[in-house]
Structure 1
Amino acid sequence: MFRLILVLTALMVSTSLQAGEIQPFKAHYHLVIDGWPNADMTHQLERDKEGWRTTMHASVKIATGYEYSRFRLRNDTDVAPWSFYSRYRLFGFGDTYRLDDQQLASLPDRQAALFALSRQAFNAPSCRGRQTTPCTFAYLDHKARQRDMAWRVIDDPEMSVPQGHWQTRHVEAWDEDKPDRRMHFYFTSRYPGLLVQTDYFRDGKLSARLQLTGLETP
């Protein structure tokens, strides 16, 4: 279950909103999830010598989760990941997983896929509307298993979260094999990859909510 903390956040049109240029950031989130202690998380997007690195880390008293993806941009648009790492611990026990460039040659890892989705959501008018045919994407989970996702843009709400007030793009996404579980992402055009808020619904009931509590930028 603790892995859900990172999957929720990890694992996107109106002409007034356009995806901005990629900018480094360090975000702080607070996550409330049914049946677990509340968790604080950090999420960082930074440049490295091979391109970009996106990292998420969460911890509570009994569990920790940490994962990152390293990726390049092809033609300034396509996300091309080449390294993924994830580590989970519960009561001191857990597992570590890695994906290399050969495994990621055809499909991205979930961190890279989430970043790509946060940009694509601002440039996909055909995916907009509750009644429209959902768009799709695929990614590899931490065990290199393919996951097929559907998604669509719902609306562009203005939102107030603990960190401040944001103009957002609301995206609903779900695993095609588990349509009863829905994730609602609220992205911003100002910082691709940043999560203003993420809600997780199971059987129509809100089960988890992540909100932005702090943001550091260069």
Structure 2
Amino acid sequence: MRHFFATAAQRGLVSALLGAAALLIGNTALAISSSALPIPQPFEAQYRLEIRGWPGATITHKLTHEGSHWLSDMSFSIAVARGQERSRFSLDESGTHSLLYSSSYSLFGIGDSYQLAEGDIRSIDRQAALFDLSRRAGFEGCIETSPCDLAFVDHRGRDEHFQYYVNAPTTISVPAGEFDAKQVTLVDAEKPDRHLLINFHPEWPGLILSAEYQKEGRKQTTLTMTQFNPAGGNAP
């Protein structure tokens, strides 16, 4: 994707880290009843993110249920950088709807922050999109020869468009354990030499088991789940 892993040097480490983890994903135009999809469950997870040419980082990811809304929160802090993205969204029979999105980052003490209200988000923000894709993938018949379209907005509210397809179910082993995985491949139609392979947990919408970004056949970035607390996302 144009604005995360491939342009880490230009955008700065922090934005790249959060853009990488929250990736990347979007909302399909296909109508699927929410009652047919996996039921959301709160959780807390930690991931190890490794970006070629940058120091690695630990990302904390929380999904909490707050009344009629859900909150997805990703954050990290290392010696030279810190960052956070948060998305408040709702669910109904027609799908996932962004309500409020905020992000902030700093590198060597210099950074910026952004906030998008519901009216600023034409499709879905990228944090809510991560949740939405992991929940819907596998229910739309998206295959390599007939991929589905994705649309979401980045941290500045700019539209992003990609395609994805679902691979055969698999089992993967990560530091947090061995899990069945729902495997999704994302492709930038403008740059077909770049793709992102994500392994989602099939029963915990929003939870990433691992992800790998490749450019011209060369691994650029990896994300791996190191800890998982299925009760950790419960709001106090």
Normalising by structure 1, we get a TM-score of 0.90
Q: Which residue of 2 aligns with 1:161?
A: 174
Give the counterpart letter for 2:76 in structure 1.
A
* 1:50 shift after superposition: 4.4
Q: 1:176: Cα distance to partner? A: 3.0
Alpha-carbon distance in 2 for matches of 1:215, 1:196: 10
Letter aligned with residue 16 of structure 2 = L
Partner of 1:74: 92
Shift of 1:19: 4.9
Identity over aligned pairs, percent? 36
Q: Secondary structure of 2:179's match?
A: strand
Asked if structure 2 preserves the Cα contact closer than 8 Å seen for 1:147 and 1:175, the reply is: no
Whether 2:40 is the aligned partner of 1:22: answer yes
Q: How far apart are the structure 2 equivalents of 1:19 and 1:137? A: 18
Tell me: CA distance 1:19–1:209, structure 2 relative to 1, closer, same or farther (3 Å). Answer: farther
Tell me: CA distance 1:147–1:44, structure 2 relative to 1, closer, same or farther (3 Å). Answer: same
Higher strand proportion (structure 1 or 2): 1
Q: Please name the residue that 1:5 is paired with.
A: 17
Amino acid at match of 1:150: Q
Match of 1:193 in 2: 206
Q: Which of 152, 158, 166 in structure 2 is aligned with 1:145?
A: 158
Q: What does residue range 169-208 of structure 1 map to in structure 2 within 5 Å?
A: 169-208=182-221
Are 1:107 and 2:119 counterparts?
Answer: no
Assess if the C-alpha contact under 8 Å between 1:56 and 1:68 holds in 2: yes
Rate the CA distance shift 1:19–1:199 in 2: closer, same or farther, 3 A.
Answer: farther
Aligned residues: 208
Counterpart position of 1:31: 49
Equivalent in the alignment of 2:63: 45
- How far apart, CA to CA, are the structure 2 residues paired with 1:206 and 1:183? 10
TM-score relative to the length of structure 2? 0.84
Q: What is the root-mean-square deviation of aligned Cα atoms in Å?
A: 1.5
Q: Aligned equivalents of 2:85 and 2:192: distance in 1?
A: 26
Query: Equivalents in 2 of 1:42, 1:177: separation in Å?
Result: 31
Confirm or deny: 8 A CA contact 1:30 1:39 kept in the other structure. Answer: yes
- Secondary structure, counterpart of 1:67 in structure 2: strand
- Identify the range of structure 1 (188-197 vs 47-56) with the bigger mean alpha-carbon deviation: 47-56
* Alignment-mate amino acid for residue 79 of structure 1: T
Q: After superposition, what is the alpha-carbon deviation per residue over 1:47-90, rounded to whole angstroms, capped at 9, x for unaligned?
A: 12341000101222111120010000022x50001100000100
Aligned mate of 2:115, from 98, 104, 121:
98
